[in-house]
Amino acid sequence: MSKLDVLQAALADLQAQHLEVLDESHLHSRGLETHYKAVIVSEQFAGLNPVKRHQKVYAVLADFMPQVHALALHTYTPQEWQEQGVAPASPTCRGGH
């Protein structure tokens, strides 16, 4: 099972209505399977500020986090996602391709 598969399986605990997980390692110079972007839409984020939302995500990924260098989190409630509909693009890191 790839790291991407492990990440997606762990994030299933958040009961997301929309879950998009991308391996963005090709944008960076640290090697394969080290940089990820997760777009998570869950009712579990309702009433939580961004820090609390990220803490909730890190709690379900506790065993996974030592294996990665970077994880960009974009967390939304279903209502926020309906209004926005897209997460921001990730920047290319210095040394990326």
- Sign of the dihedral through C-alpha 21, 27, 31, 35: negative
Q: Per this entry, what is the length of the chain? A: 97
**Global pTM?**
0.86
Q: Please name each of the domains of the chain with its CATH number.
A: 3-84 (3.30.300.90)
Tokens 């960076």 correspond to what residue? 28
Tokens 């879950």 correspond to what residue? 19
Paired tokens of 56: 């909730």
pLDDT(30) > 60: no
Stronger pLDDT, 25 or 41, i.e. the higher one? 41
Say whether 26 sits in a helix, a strand or coil: helix
Res. 96 pLDDT band, cuts 50 70 90: very low
Cα separation, 94 vs 25, in Å, equals 12
CA max distance for the chain: 38
Neighbours of 35 (CB within 10 A): 23
Average pLDDT over residues 51-65: 95
Q: Strands, E, within 1-97: which ranges?
A: 18-23, 35-41, 70-76
Average pLDDT over residues 71-83: 95
